[in-house]
Amino acid sequence: MGRVSTAYLLTCAAIGVAGGVLLAVGWWLSLGLFATVPFVSVAIAGLWVLPAVIALRLIQRPFAGLLVGLVSGLVLAPFYTVSAIATTLFWSFFPELPFLVTLYRRWSTWLHYAGAAAVGIAYPILAAQSFDLWSMAPGVLVAFIGLCLVSCLAGTALGVLIADRLRAAGVARLARRRPAA
């Protein structure tokens, strides 16, 4: 991986802080939806992948998504709980996973969507007890997982779009450069 530049760290920090602010709003919205209509609360699951997708697409360096997830969690922790760090790292792990599997040698767009599909299916299953998933009728269960999947894919598409716009504006130029030895 080599050394990391200050520009890389600052870019990840900026994306992480912005992601933390976005997720603070998403957290309250999610809590309100979960308390009233738990089924619909997964419709905003894509917000949680957004910071990591932006970082990975923009910077294209190993562990950028996880670093952004860590910073987002650190921003959220004082206002929610320390478990916010684990939550943001969980949601950042899946966008990072396809690139890790390729040992960060490929940065194809479809890999972003593979990570989104993985978390869109995994999250409802891993949180099944919270949502009382196994008591749902099969059609409702499929719709629930489908809604989470679509939300994560939409969040990824938005993240790719934002990162591409930032790159076009010249934001990624310094962050992607590796420091001189």
pLDDT score, position 40: 83
Model pLDDT, residue 177: 58
pTM listed for this prediction: 0.90
State residue 2's pLDDT score. 60
Q: What is the reported pLDDT for 135? A: 86
Residues 49 and 174: their CA atoms lie apart, in Å, by: 24
What is the predicted pLDDT for the residue at 180?
53
| Tens of pLDDT, residues 43-79 | 999 999 999 999 999 999 999 999 999 999 999 999 8
Segments of the chain with pLDDT less than 70: 1-2, 173-181
pLDDT reported for residue 80: 86
Task: Please state the three-class secondary structure of the chain as a single string.
Answer: CCCCCHHHHHHHHHHHHHHHHHHHHHHHHHHHHHHHCHHHHHHHHHHHCHHHHHHHHHHCCCCHHHHHHHHHHHHHCCCCCCHHHHHHHHHHHHHHHHHHHCCCCCCCHHHHHHHHHHHHHHHHHHCHHHHCHHHCCHHHHHHHHHHHHHHHHHHHHHHHHHHHHHHHCCCHHHHHCCCCC
